[in-house]
């Protein structure tokens, strides 16, 4: 039985520093630990290392979205020096203590984890249909970066046209998707927090977005996944459910 094509990739992003701005990609290698270079750095708040969630995120500092990290050697992101551009146009090495102090004051520090600093699973995916449908529910045009996915997928119907299903990725939970040369298992729906209320451009908040997701969607939007087969993914790649007999 052939794999069932259910969509195509229309957006790819990685986040070199947790909660900072996204890096837009046209293609990327995906390893067992997610997209190469994704969330390898994170800032840690002072005084709560045993909390289970010591990371400095958009919850604590919504302006993190305005700091843009980049790799000096983008071809080897997991080995490259990482530079962070400030909103004013200055640049710091990610390890510079001046940057940490600016983000959260004395005691804030940065750490690097080769396997990435992920809340749950190393891969995240959302569909264009889900973003559009939620926008209709709240009466607003929503930027996909509110949801900070790795992959944005346009779901397709059997004829290859844009699907009219709402929240189509929910049906992929428990299945394995082939995307480019990579295979990922869709492990669970993505439970959401206050971060999705923050506008990625203005940093203004809209609490109705999270209230709607909680009321209409059991607090979930998009899905989390993990790598089954490492490989390269590119914008335009087909997304297919792997046949159980494959």
**What would the pLDDT profile of 130-145 be if each residue is shown by its tens digit?**
999 999 999 999 999 9
Specify the pLDDT at position 207: 96
Strands 151-155 and 123-127 turn out to be: parallel
**Domains assigned to the chain:** 4-16+120-241 (2.40.33.20), 39-112 (no CATH)
The CA distance from 15 to 197, in Å, is 19
CB 91 within 8 A of CB 84: yes
How confident is residue 246, by pLDDT bands cut at 50, 70 and 90? low
Q: Say what the pTM is.
A: 0.94
Q: Which residues of 48-68 are buried (b: 16+ CB within 10 A; e: fewer)?
A: eeeeeeebbbbeebbebbbbb
For the segment 3-21, the average pLDDT, to the nearest whole number, is 97
More reliable by pLDDT, 145 or 105: 145
What are residue 85's phi and psi, to 5 degrees? -90, 130
Sequence-ordered alpha helix ranges (H) in the chain: 97-104, 128-138, 207-217
**What would the pLDDT profile of 170-229 be if each residue is shown by its tens digit?**
999 999 999 999 999 999 999 999 999 999 988 899 999 999 999 999 999 999 999 999
């Amino acid at each position: 039985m052939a794999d069932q094509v259910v969509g195509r990739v229309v957006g790819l992003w990685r986040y070199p520093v947790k909660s900072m701005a996204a890096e837009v990609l046209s293609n990327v290698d995906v390893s067992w630990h997610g997209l190469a270079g994704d969330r390898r750095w994170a800032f840690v708040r002072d005084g709560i290392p045993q909390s289970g969630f010591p990371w400095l995120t958009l919850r604590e500092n919504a302006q993190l979205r305005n700091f843009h990290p980049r790799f000096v050697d983008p071809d080897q992101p997991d080995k490259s020096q990482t530079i962070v551009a400030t909103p004013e146009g200055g640049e710091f090495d990610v390890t510079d203590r001046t940057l940490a102090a600016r983000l959260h004051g004395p005691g804030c520090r940065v750490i690097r984890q080769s396997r990435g600093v992920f809340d749950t699973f190393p891969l995240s995916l959302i569909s264009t249909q889900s973003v559009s449908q939620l926008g209709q529910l709240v009466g607003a045009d929503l930027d996909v970066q509110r949801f900070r996915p790795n992959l944005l997928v346009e779901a397709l119907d059997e004829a290859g046209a844009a699907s009219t299903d709402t929240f189509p990725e929910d049906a992929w939970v428990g299945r394995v998707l082939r995307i480019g040369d990579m295979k990922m298992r869709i492990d669970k729906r993505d439970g959401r927090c206050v971060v999705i209320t923050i506008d990625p451009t203005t940093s203004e908040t809209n609490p109705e977005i999270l209230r709607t997701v909680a009321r209409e969607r059991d607090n979930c939007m998009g899905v989390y996944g993990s790598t089954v087969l490492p490989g390269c993914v590119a914008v335009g790649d087909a997304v297919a459910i792997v046949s159980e007999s494959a």
